[in-house]
Chains A and B, each alone.
Chain A
């Protein structure tokens, strides 16, 4: 049976489920759809939300936030995890929480304040028996339904900074470009070091996390960056925005640049490291990081561009994150180059 037939079969099932849901409240997440091998055509097929507008999470769907978030053209992000009844996550030091099969991670991207807020897309990561699957869903103009956008999409958006951009909803493969290690799809966000101690404690208390992770809550709160140390902010920013590709086994492993929080070798982090395949992305500079000289550092040059072929990250943004550039610029300016800490 080909996938197109499977798609039909599942939408029929989901349709049946929706009718059943109306008859027997409260609504529940459709575990069969998460664990199956299909590509559900509508976000509603999963049953993560009680309302068609995707605002009211059902039981088992828990919201969370990150200390330092990934920049996505200034989009607001509403993040949730879902765990099937009777399952729990397990802690793995300060790294990614380990999710049981059947779990899902849900992230809605929105622009606009208050009543003006509009949902653009919701991305889901499904933990299936054969690994994680990443799928993008695009909200309609009426804000009543989000449909699978397998091949991605572009649409005009005004960012909070007032820039008019062509916003990119990633296609399924582009999801994997960032969400991959050693060729397998993985989550990126929910690392213990980037989650608040309060949230983690609550998850332990409710029986959804096996133990409070060591090394939790280490990354600084980006919203309070004025009070935080530059080094910590910059390392957190690079970890969250760059290291999913720039790490061994990641999408940019061949560059030899490793921007993970736990990396301490200055050369691996880019200090006096020549580029490998940067092309015009090098911007005439000879090293990724020139200690004390952000204006001669490829890292800053590429963060400070919105032009495809130069801009880093390659995916996920059409505008420059000026706050991020400022932090990394300051970090390099203050750097002596002999020792790198967090």
Chain B
């Protein structure tokens, strides 16, 4: 009963009075010592990873609310999963109000850090990498919050993921910022999620830089209210190394910012350079589906002012070369499949950036049946109320 009282106080914000710090050192028994600390921690506690390399054989997990796991820096405290023998990720978080910061994870066999049903989570100054570079046998996601409300990803570095470096799925109230995603299939992916802000990131040398997708058949569908701004999306021309069968395996190499399905996505003030298929791509879901809840079309995708350079010169799909040649060596910066819902425009271009439409007639139609031509799109839209988009302000406070 006394313990319960402490827990209640901790959740009320009085944590520092009782909170404990558990310091873990690398070396013999690190797996058990660290996992035991994660199990026995109480709300408000901080688990500190001293500098060094932790060689781990099994996935770690945290299921206690309000715990901080803190290393000595993303180049100092390294959780090494090269010898992992079991479980589907390096670290699984299933509790709320958790902060993960200042450590690195290398070579997890499945995903890197997964948080599921973990509301108000902060990922700060983390590095999750597969050290062998792009490889289909790498894990799918480096940073993987799913089914959560309140997600702040700030200042992380991810590379080598065979699906997405930073993947946020089936969640809401999300901010991904100040981060670098390099040499993944997808750099940053926001999927089946709402109220997401993606800003001030660098997505470079991935297959696709920043993806905003909505897919059918998942427990949560209906992605939208997403802002993508002030990102550098550069030279995402790594050949697609995703294992076939996954949706990102169909992302063409050379994709900058790509929106599939979704409603209300605002893309502004990004720099997209050297993305050889398309700097900006807006398309409907490409497959058949059977989900009455699902809308396969992009609706109200706004392309504001963006700096676009050296894109569209070598589209990575059949006939791409001729396609580019027909436009004088490079297709226009915006690539749209030509599909839209009946009563809302697929995209609105307020900045005069030119585009090309594939003029597909039906959702699910093959790109081989494209009849490319100049794109026309409305150019005016009222500014939305963006106040509810992004992670809750209290997550910010934990970074101080």
Contacts and interface: CB of A to CB of B under 8 A. Distances in A.
Interface in A240-298: 248, 251, 253-254, 256, 267, 273-287, 298
A318 interface: yes
A172 B94 contact: no
A295 B2 CA distance: 56
Interface in A300-314: 307-309, 314
A278 B219 contact: no
B337 interface: no
Interface string B84-123: 1111100010100000000000001111000011000000
Contacts of B136: 280
B170 A314 contact: no
Given A152-B32, A279-B139, A283-B245, A314 B219 contact: no
A176 B63 contact: yes
Interface stretch (A1-9, A25-33, A77-85, A207-215): A1-9
Contact of B110 (A273, A287, A308): A308
Interface string B7-43: 0000000000000100000000001110110111010
Interface stretch (B140-148, B327-335, B341-349, B392-400): B140-148
Interface stretch (B54-62, B69-77, B256-264, B373-381): B54-62
A218 interface: no
A274 B2 CA distance: 49
Nearest to B170: A254
A285 B61 contact: no
B217 A173 contact: no
B84 A308 contact: yes
A277 B140 contact: yes
Interface string A144-167: 000000111110000000000010
Interface size class of A (residues with CB under 8 A): 35 or more
A176 B58 CA distance: 15
Contacts of B217: 256, 267, 273-274
B146 A282 contact: no
Contacts of A273: 217
Contacts of A37: 3
A94 interface: no
B10 to A, nearest CB: 12
24 contacts: A151-B32, A173-B62, A173-B63, A173-B92, A174-B61, A248-B219, A254-B146, A254-B147, A274-B287, A275-B246, A277-B141, A278-B243, A278-B245, A279-B140, A279-B163, A280-B138, A280-B140, A284-B243, A284-B245, A286-B244, A308-B84, A309-B109, A309-B139, A314-B110
Interface of B: 2-3, 20, 31-33, 35-36, 38-40, 42, 57-58, 61-63, 84-88, 92, 94, 108-111, 116-117, 136-141, 144, 146-147, 162-163, 167, 169-170, 215, 217-219, 243-247, 287, 290
Given A1-B3, A254-B219, 16 more contacts: A2-B3, A2-B42, A151-B33, A153-B32, A173-B35, A173-B61, A173-B94, A274-B217, A274-B245, A276-B215, A279-B140, A280-B138, A308-B84, A308-B88, A308-B109, A308-B110
Sorted from nearest, which 5 A-B pairs have the closest CB atoms? A279-B140, A282-B245, A314-B88, A173-B61, A309-B110
